[in-house]
Structure 1
Amino acid sequence: MSFGQGGPQWGPGDNGGAPDWAALAEASEARARKKRWMMIGGAVVATLAVGSVVAWGIVSANKDSEAGNKPADQLPSTADIPSEGRTPGPSFAETTPPPPLDPNDFIDSAAKDKAPLGADTLFPGRTLTFGGNTYKKGATARTADCASVGTKGLSGVLRKNGCTQVIRATYYKDSSAVTIGVAVFDTKAAATRAKEQYDFDGAVVSLPGSGVPTFCRTTVCRQTANSVGRYAYFTNGGLTNGRDASKKDATVFALGDDLQEFTFQQIKRRGEAQASAAATAG
């Protein structure tokens, strides 16, 4: 069959050259089946894709949930969370209290040592009980002529170091008596020099009276020297019966030592009282 150039042409074939309709129908059916499988496959792929998105979404949601359930030590502190209605309290600047006043400052210099001073303030009462012993107080005296109450070398030591006054008191027990002389200077340095320069050449003049006879003028007696602050103090002790004192006379030694220690404590208390009064006054 020929329709001319350009039309369908069949070459030699079955059915005398007629089209094979059965083959064409089978080919058409095959194409239809292939199309249906392609559509089903696309749907499955789409379903798997959707499933993946949902799965990842669940994982993501779980991670978010885990992030919201932090352990207690990772949660913000309640101290960091401002509470409603909380008003900060008043704040005060830190202050450092001034250091306590030093009592030595008051007894080291006449510029600050202004409390009343006399025989009655240093040696009050009629007796002295100290170290388990009790002694009676004899005469007391006070003079600005320091050289007059020291013999030999002590007189010169008091004068050249600027002694301003000497306060004396005598205490006694039985036949033992001791006179203590407290020499007052303007500064601690002057009092210290006087103590160090005194080489026991001479002594403070013993003070009789008020029941105590003259003693330690021509007999052997015991002398001591010490200082604290602007005060130097010297003792002269012995027997009132006219005998020389010796190391066997325990009362002479005990009375001299107790009187020295008592005088030291009295001067220290003087500094403490003035420091306390100054601190109270502000």
Structure 2
Amino acid sequence: MSFGGPQWPQEPQQGGQQGYGQQPRQGGQQDGQQGYGPQPGQGWGQPHGYGPQPGQGPAPDPFPGAQSGGTTPDWGALADASASRNRRKRWLVIGGGALAALVVGAIVATAVVASGKKNDEAKNGGAPTGSASATAEPTPEPTFSSVAPPPPPNPKDYISDPKKDKAPLSAEGLFPGKKLTMNKRPYRKGATASTTDCTAATQGGLGAVLKKNGCQRVLRATYVRDGVAITVGVAVFPSESAALKAKNQATGGIAPLAGAGVRDFCRATVCLRRSNSVGRYAYFTQSGFADGRKVTKADKPIFQASDDLGTFAFNQIYARGRAQASAAAGAPGE
């Protein structure tokens, strides 16, 4: 019988900002206002004559006051007119010079700003644009190794090979605590034992089978529940094949282990014996009534207890392999 055993920002647009080289209007001048100098279609006043023009009446006297006293001109008025013309010329010259200076200054400022901008772009790599340059280096794609990582260690390898199965082994380590619960059914632990004399821990012909297949040690523990007593024994072999042979050849059974509040049972009566193996371990159970009654096929508690303890033994052996495999996976160089 067998037991049951895991996904370039756009540069911000500067709204309303004046461009490079554009100068503000001077002196509050409005659009359409005339600048310095004569306007189109105009001269510097109408030409002056010394007599009436054709089709006109008497011409206005160009030198007021000069005709009243005879032929002597009014030198004061002439001097005033000449001074006025000179002042006007000076203002024209000054105004034109200022305007020229402004134009030259604007050109120079534009050149300086443009030069500074080029220098900054040369230093910082230019302003970011909304799309990647056609000559830009492409972003490298991630690469993955074509070599698959080694698989994690298999726990069964560690309970099958004595060269790997090096963890300490004892009855208290294999059957820890004072009780166990399987499928919500609690069992109290009684006595435990460990021996290298494999035949001494057996009944009937099981001792000879264990010895023939190279048994190295037998570890036992007894559990009780509701008048049912079960002894579970685990035999250690040098190989997986040896343990498998011992399971297949099994006859007789593991010897019941009394003590620690459990009296002798399965002596001179009918009890339920089972055997199985995993890795280099074979495990056995012997279940019966604590009061010595014979076991029948109708006694469900006996079969249930045998299943629970057999599953527990399998779990404990496999947990041993899992712990050693986990330790090996985390060790340097593994």
Same fold (TM over 0.5): yes
What is the number of equivalent residue pairs in this alignment? 202
1:254 equivalent in structure 2: 304
Change in Cα spacing, 1:139 to 1:90, as seen in structure 2 (3 Å) is: closer
Q: 1:82 aligns with which of 128, 131, 135?
A: 135
Q: Unmatched 5+ residue regions in structure 1?
A: 1-77
1:239 equivalent in structure 2: 289
For residue 215 of structure 2, what is the amino acid of its counterpart? C
1:217 equivalent in structure 2: 267
Please state which structure has a larger fraction of its residues in helix: 1
1:20 equivalent in structure 2: none
For residue 304 of structure 2, what is the amino acid of its counterpart? A
2:220 equivalent in structure 1: 168
Indicate the SS of the match to 2:330. helix
2:119 equivalent in structure 1: none
Change in Cα spacing, 1:91 to 1:176, as seen in structure 2 (3 Å) is: closer
Change in Cα spacing, 1:94 to 1:251, as seen in structure 2 (3 Å) is: same
2:191 equivalent in structure 1: 139
Indicate the SS of the match to 2:161. coil
2:157 equivalent in structure 1: 105
2:280 equivalent in structure 1: 230
1:117 equivalent in structure 2: 169
Percent identity (aligned)? 51
Matches within 5 A, 1:87-98: 94-98=146-150
Cα deviation, residue 227, structure 1: 0.4
Correspondence 1:277 to 2:317:
no
Which deviates more from structure 2 when the two are superposed, residues 156-165 or residues 250-259? 250-259
TM-score normalised according to structure 1 size: 0.67
Cα deviation, residue 95, structure 1: 4.5
8 Å CA contact 2:267–2:292 kept in 1: the answer is: no
Deviations 1:89-119 (A, max 9, x none): 8977554311111111100121111111111
Change in Cα spacing, 1:89 to 1:245, as seen in structure 2 (3 Å) is: closer
For residue 239 of structure 1, what is the amino acid of its counterpart? F
Cα deviation, residue 86, structure 1: 6.5
Change in Cα spacing, 1:79 to 1:197, as seen in structure 2 (3 Å) is: farther
For residue 119 of structure 1, what is the amino acid of its counterpart? A
Matches within 5 A, 1:18-57: none
Q: CA RMSD in A?
A: 2.2
TM-score normalised according to structure 2 size: 0.57
8 Å CA contact 2:218–2:233 kept in 1: the answer is: yes
Change in Cα spacing, 1:90 to 1:120, as seen in structure 2 (3 Å) is: same
